[in-house]
Chains A and B, each alone.
Chain A
Amino acid sequence: MRLNSVGQIALVAAAIAYLLGVYFASSPVWMGFTINALIVAVIALSWNITGGFGGLSSFGHAAMYGTGAYASAILQVKFGLNAWIGFGAGILAGATMGAFIGALAFRYGLRGSYFALVTLAFAEVLRICASSFEFTGGGSGLQLTLTPGIGNLQINDRTVVYTALLIVVAAVMALTALIKFSRFGAYLIAVRENEDAARALGIDTYKIKVQAMAISGAFGGLAGVLYLQLWLFIDSTVVYGSAVSVEALIGPIIGGAGTVWGPLLGTLGLHLLGEGAKHLLPNAPGLNFVLYAIVLICALRFLPQGLVGLAGRVGPFKKKENDNA
């Protein structure tokens, strides 16, 4: 989490100022919208572990997100278990799904386009299954019963929800920083930079990649559970749809993949942009995705290291070091 330029400090300060400013915003719209952005930031941080540090671009992170949400919802609706148990189980289910996909995909050495496709296919199979079986609520989805209270993890007060989400995002980012600067993180980055060389140095690249998928899956499951507890309703398209997978990868890439702050910054920036567009053209539902796509293309061309990389070039403290944010 070392920031090493004036630009990066300014960028992060602006984000923190915005997040705190939301408490004092005159309209509740700001808080509601930022709450959604924060949940997306968690799935973006999840993608960042494998896609950013590991260089394993997943196009199906909805698989973990949806599995977390469905695991928790099924335990609560079908087995009547407490929401906190569902919360833990959702994270665990996400991690298991991540490790499972990773174990299968990496055992056969899938990389690049092939890995992108296999993750996409997993998310799609899960989506069709979830919409077809009675157990998962079929086409009509699963609805939690409304029983407000902290014991049931259903909080009515928006401000409390927002604060809780800020803490969760901060915790996930702290874990991300911990991973990045740990031995494990160094291994993972080595796999991204040159997998054959990493293996030649004695790194068990298969194990590292599967572990990264499990951690990423746990974060993804967490994001799914948060979504469930906020809206109390899920169906197959909402949690397993391709929109989730796209949002998971687009924020980190625009913010800066493989950085601690990038996923949050990218997601917040995109959502602000999308929200602004919604006000200018209120009757265009998919317009935010058109904007996201245009920003994505420009970012790929002009910002290879995302917003964090761009800010890193503004007033650097030291020369020759530019990716530690």
Chain B
Amino acid sequence: MSSLILPAVLSGLMMGAVYALVALGLTLIYGVLHIINFAHGSLLMLALYAVYFLHYHLGVDPYLAIPIVLPVFFALGYALQRGLIAPMSSGSEQNVLLITLAISMIVDNLALYFWTSNTRTADIAYAYDTVEILGAYLPLGRVIAFVAALAVAPLLWAFMAYTRTGSAIRAVAIEKRGAELVGIDVNHTYAICFGIGTACVALAACLLLPTFYVTPQVGYTFVLVAFTTVVLGGMGSLVGALIAGLLLGVIESLCGLFLGESLGQIGIFLAFILILLFKPSGLLGRAR
């Protein structure tokens, strides 16, 4: 059994990095807008289809699709926040929650209508290549995703810490009215933030597609894990989301190993409930 644990931990870490990447976008949006974006998973699903169709129809490699998909999804996120969520929510947090839920219903069901519930996988030559790490054979795509996700987190952090836009985002997150008074365009900043969060999801989609599948329901699996990651890491904390994502990947992998494949996700949700109940501020979050 012990010979199985190390590979399980490693493959959990690989998956966890993708969870972390999805959760980075979510936690950024939460940290600034103080809302939980229920449409996050649906946007991931949409991005996965975009990458899939780029590969299927135009032969674009998923990794080369990054410079195409990323700006498109940034624009989509920006437009969603600026054009739909902000004007329709009348400023109430509960309304924002419900509007993102409505967006996810629209996107999911339209995807089901247009693309049917068939599971699709991209037919990519290197999809089955593996790398040997510490005696465990891991899919190459997962290792690339792991490295890329680990690289993105510090980049995002540096962006928030050292750029003017980053400072504006942090200012709005801390004190909305104060930020407004010193001349920051709050609506624009909110939308930028939503755009970056959506771009994170698009990047995750590019990294996921070589080793994953696409269905209209795929977002739902990820969104709950992403919620867990965000809560566990501390809502709004980028570093927290990274650590929590990796941790949850390992938890899922070990639960799958010991309890059977179908119960793997139980571990994640139990962790979720326990965290929400006993330490809602998360690992690195500020107490509320």
Which residues from chain A sit less than 8 Å from chain B, CB to CB?
57, 59, 104-105, 107-108, 110, 112-114, 116-118, 120-122, 124-125, 128-129, 131-132, 242, 246, 249, 253, 284-287, 289-290, 292-294, 296-297, 300-301, 304
Q: Is B212 an interface residue (CB 8 A)?
A: no
Are A105 and B277 touching (Cβ within 8 A)? yes
* Complex contacts, B94 vs chain A, CB 8 Å: 57, 112
* Nearest residue, chain B, Cβ from A118: B276
Are A125 and B266 touching (Cβ within 8 A)? yes
* Complex contacts, B162 vs chain A, CB 8 Å: none
| Interface flags, B170-203, vs A, CB<8A=1, else 0 | 0000000000000000000000000000000000
**Chain B positions 263-283 with a Cβ under 8 Å from a chain A Cβ:** 263, 265-266, 269-270, 272-273, 276-278, 280
Binds A, one of B1-9, B106-114, B142-150: B106-114
Are B105 and A293 touching (Cβ within 8 A)? yes
Q: Is B88 an interface residue (CB 8 A)?
A: yes
Are B224 and A118 touching (Cβ within 8 A)? no
* Nearest residue, chain A, Cβ from B34: A113
The 6 closest A-B pairs by CB, nearest first: A286-B109, A293-B102, A293-B105, A125-B269, A301-B88, A118-B276
Are B277 and A108 touching (Cβ within 8 A)? yes
* Nearest residue, chain A, Cβ from B110: A290
Give the residue of B109, B231, B263 whose beta carbon is less than 8 angstroms from that of A132. B263
CA distance A285 to B102 in the complex (A): 17
Q: Is B163 an interface residue (CB 8 A)?
A: no
CA distance A41 to B195 in the complex (A): 38
Are A121 and B112 touching (Cβ within 8 A)? no
Are A292 and B105 touching (Cβ within 8 A)? yes
CA distance A296 to B95 in the complex (A): 10
CA distance A289 to B97 in the complex (A): 17
Are A253 and B109 touching (Cβ within 8 A)? no
* Nearest residue, chain B, Cβ from A122: B273
CA distance A127 to B280 in the complex (A): 23
- If A289-B109, A294-B102, A300-B99 touch, whether A108 touches B280 (CB-CB below 8 Å) is yes
- If A57-B97, A110-B276, A297-B102 touch, whether A128 touches B263 (CB-CB below 8 Å) is yes
CA distance A294 to B109 in the complex (A): 12
29 A-B interface contacts by CB (under 8 A): A104-B273, A105-B277, A110-B280, A113-B35, A113-B97, A117-B231, A118-B273, A118-B276, A120-B224, A120-B227, A121-B269, A125-B266, A125-B270, A128-B265, A129-B266, A246-B101, A285-B112, A287-B113, A289-B109, A290-B109, A290-B110, A293-B101, A293-B109, A294-B106, A296-B102, A297-B102, A300-B88, A300-B99, A304-B90
**Residue among B34, B87, B102, B108 having the largest count of chain A Cβ atoms under 10 Å:** B102
Give chain B's interface residue range (CB within 8 Å of chain A): 35 or more
CA distance A249 to B99 in the complex (A): 13
Q: Is B93 an interface residue (CB 8 A)?
A: yes
Are A297 and B93 touching (Cβ within 8 A)? no
Q: Is B89 an interface residue (CB 8 A)?
A: yes
Are A300 and B112 touching (Cβ within 8 A)? no
CA distance A105 to B89 in the complex (A): 26
Are A287 and B280 touching (Cβ within 8 A)? no
Are B102 and A117 touching (Cβ within 8 A)? no
Q: Is B118 an interface residue (CB 8 A)?
A: no
Give the residue of A124, A131, A286, A296 whose beta carbon is less than 8 angstroms from that of B98. A296
Are A293 and B277 touching (Cβ within 8 A)? no
Q: Is B242 an interface residue (CB 8 A)?
A: no
* Complex contacts, B34 vs chain A, CB 8 Å: 113
Shortest B82–chain A CB gap in Å is 15
* Complex contacts, A117 vs chain B, CB 8 Å: 36, 227, 231, 272, 276
* Complex contacts, A285 vs chain B, CB 8 Å: 112-113
Are A124 and B224 touching (Cβ within 8 A)? yes
Are B98 and A300 touching (Cβ within 8 A)? yes
| Interface flags, B233-271, vs A, CB<8A=1, else 0 | 000000000000000000000000000101101100110
Q: Is B220 an interface residue (CB 8 A)?
A: yes
Are A132 and B36 touching (Cβ within 8 A)? no
